[in-house]
Amino acid sequence: MDEGMQYPQAILVTGAAGNLGRVVSDHLIEALRAGRISRLRLTDMQPLAEVEGVETIQTQLTGREVAFDLAEGMDAIIHLSGIPVEGEWDALIPSNLAATAHLWDAAVAHGVDRILFASSNHAVGLYPVDEAIDHSAAPRPDSRYGLTKAFGEQLGALYAAKTPVRAFCMRIGTCAAAATARRHLQTYQSFDDFLRLIDTGLTADYRFEIVYGISDNEGSFWDNTNARRLGYAPQDKPADFMKEPVEQTDYRFQGGNFADAPLGKS
């Protein structure tokens, strides 16, 4: 974390018990200890470890009332919760659509300055692998899941235009401890670079932005100039995180197996 950056003082993280949620939570607990933020609220439907000085709320973020309670008193929300893979509408509608919509309304009502939204590359997964796209690429979801992420991005755009709430939509590629497929040479983001992107979203000046969640991936089909313009400076390269055996499948579409799977399956 850059000591010179000015962080929003009170931060809520949804999906804090998930893979990325835990990485972000640890980063912000450190910021809290160092006095760079003054309040941290973590929420998830799964149990969260108790940490002194941190507000932990175990709840399911689907209803309006819950969203309003969670957003109260916060300056920034890092919205990571939701189903992270393809699913049926019965599950995706409450977790990925309703929850996100209610949270944005709650942010407006409580004067939250910004929302960092965990979008996904699957919002644009039906672009072919030989076409380079940047932040201005229109959504081309490869799955119902990808469509829920495109919805979140458009929600952010609408509210950024009509309310004071800023939106930072991260089309996350493959954010994991290791890269395990040839596709990851294009899509991989290390945890440290993900945190650099989070710091950019928390501190940069913008109203509505789309950025890609990737490391310093030479030749990626995602041109991340927009993230760099806002201050994101990734330090890692996927090849340094490659773990054998490497899956060798050649995909037609940027979304990989999500794009090739029949609707509703991944």
Catalytic site residues?
145
Please, which residue, 95 or 121, has the CB nearer to ligand 15L?
Answer: 121
Q: CB of residue 85 vs ligand 15L: minimum separation in angstroms?
A: 6
- Of the two residues 79 and 110, which places its CB atom closer to ligand 15L in the complex? 79
Task: List residues near ligand 15L by CB under 6 A.
Answer: 84-85, 120-122, 174, 187, 256
Closest CB 11 distance from ligand 15L, rounded Å: 22
For ligand 15L, the closer CB: 7 or 194 = 194
Q: Least distance in Å: CB of 256 to ligand 15L?
A: 6
What is the smallest separation between the CB atom of 20 and ligand 15L, expressed in angstroms? 9
Q: Which DSSP string do the residues of the chain spell out, in sequence order?
A: --TT----SEEEEESTTSHHHHHHHHHHHHHHHTTS-SEEEEEESS-----TT-EEEE--TTSHHHHHHHHTT-SEEEE--S--S---HHHHIIIIIIHHHHHHHHHHHTT--EEEEEEEGGGSTTSBTTS-B-TTPPP--SSHHHHHHHHHHHHHHHHHHHSS-EEEEEEE-EESSSEEETTHHHHEE-HHHHHHHHHHHHHS--SEEEEEE--S-TT-SB--HHHHHTT------GGGGEEEEEE-PPPSBTTTHHHHSPTT--
User: Residue 84 or 201: which CB sits closer to ligand 15L?
Assistant: 84
